[in-house]
Chain A
Amino acid sequence: MTLIKKQKRFSGYAPYFIFGTTAVLTVGILIGIFAFLFIIGIQAFSSIGFAEFFLNSDWNPNSFHTPSWGIISMVVGTLIVSLLSLIFAVPFGLAIAIYLAEIASPKIREILKPIIEMIASIPSVVLGFLGLLFLAPLVAKVFTLSNGLNALTASLLVAIASLPTIASISEDALSDVSSKFREASLALGATKWVTIKKIVIPAASSGLMAAIMLGLGRIIGETMIVLMVAGNTRAFPQSFLDSVRPMTANIAIEIKEVVTHSLHWQALFAIGLILFVITFIINFAADYFINKNKL
Chain B
Amino acid sequence: MNNNTIIKIQSLNAWYNGFHALKGVNMDIYKNNITALIGASGSGKSTLLRSLNRILDVTPTARVQGNIIIDQEDILGEDIDVIALRRKVGMVFQNPTPFPKSIFDNVAYGLQVQGVPNKRSGGLKGFLKRNKINAEDVVKSQDPLDIAVSKSLKEAGLWEEVKDRLWQSAFRLSGGQQQRLCIARAIAIRPEILLLDEPCSDLDPISTRKIEELLIELKKNYTIVIVTHNMYQAKRISDYVGFLHSGELIEFGETTNIFNHPQKTLTGDYVKGVFG
What is the interface of chain A, defined by CB distance below 8 A to chain B?
1-7, 9
Contact A4 B84 (CB under 8 A): yes
Residues of A within 8 A of B73 (CB): 3-5
The B57-88 residues at the A interface (CB cut-off 8 A) are: 71, 73, 75, 79-81, 83-85, 88
A159–chain B nearest beta-carbon distance, Å: 44
B67 to chain A, nearest CB (A): 14
A5 & B71 in contact (Cβ 8 Å cutoff): no
Bound Cα distance from A127 to B88, whole angstroms: 64
Q: Is the pair A7, B192 in contact by a Cβ cutoff of 8 Å?
A: no
25 contacts between A and B (CB under 8 A): A1-B71, A1-B88, A1-B192, A2-B84, A2-B88, A3-B71, A3-B73, A4-B71, A4-B73, A4-B75, A4-B80, A4-B81, A4-B84, A4-B85, A4-B88, A5-B73, A5-B79, A5-B80, A5-B81, A6-B79, A6-B80, A6-B81, A7-B81, A9-B81, A9-B83
Other A-B pairs, 18, CB within 8 Å; known A2-B88, A4-B75, A9-B83: A1-B71, A1-B88, A1-B192, A3-B71, A3-B73, A4-B71, A4-B73, A4-B80, A4-B81, A4-B84, A4-B85, A5-B73, A5-B79, A5-B80, A5-B81, A6-B79, A6-B80, A7-B81
Specify which chain A residues have a CB less than 8 angstroms from the CB of B81 in the assembled complex: 4-7, 9
CB distance from B233 to the nearest CB of A (A): 30
Binding site secondary structure of chain A: loop
Chief secondary structure at chain B's binding surface: mixed
Which residues from chain B contact A9 at a C-beta distance below 8 Å? 81, 83
With a cutoff of 8 Å between Cβ atoms, the chain A residues found around residue B83 in the complex are: 9
**Closest CB in chain B relative to A40 CB, distance in Å:** 41
Contacts of B80 in A (CB 8 A): 4-6
A8 CB, min distance to chain B CBs, angstroms: 10
Bound CA–CA A6/B79 (angstroms): 5
Question: Chain B residues near A7 (CB, 8 Å)?
Answer: 81
Taken together as a complex, chains A and B put the C-alpha atoms of A4 and B88 apart, in Å, by 9
Instruction: Write out the residue numbers on chain B whose beta carbons fall within 8 Å of the beta carbon of A6.
Output: 79-81
Output the least CB separation between A283 and chain B (Å). Answer: 29
* Chain A residue with Cβ nearest B70: A4
A5: min CB distance to chain B, Å: 6
Residue with the greatest number of chain A CB neighbours at <10 A, chosen from B73, B75, B80, B84: B84
Residue of B nearest to A2 (CB): B84
Considering the complex, give the chain A residue whose CB is closest to the CB of B71: A1
Residues of B within 8 A of A1 (CB): 71, 88, 192
Chain B residue at minimal CB-CB distance from A5: B79
CA distance A3 to B75 in the complex (A): 11
CB closest residue in chain A, given B84: A4
Q: Which residues of A contact B192 (CB under 8 A)?
A: 1
Residue in B79, B81, B88 whose Cβ sees the most chain A Cβ within 10 Å: B81
- Alpha-carbon distance A225/B81, docked complex (angstroms): 61
Pairs A-B, 7 closest by C-beta atoms: A6-B81, A6-B79, A4-B84, A1-B71, A4-B81, A4-B85, A4-B73
Q: How far is the CA of A7 from the CA of B73 in the complex (A)?
A: 15
Q: CA–CA, A4 to B192, complex, Å?
A: 14
Closest to B78 in A: A6
A93 CA / B80 CA spacing, docked (Å): 59
Contact digits for B34-54, partner A, Cβ 8 Å, 1 yes 0 no? 000000000000000000000
Mask, B74-115, CB within 8 Å of A = 1, is 010001110111001000000000000000000000000000
CA–CA, A224 and B52, complex, Å: 62
Residue of B nearest to A1 (CB): B71
A137 to B83, CA, bound (A): 72
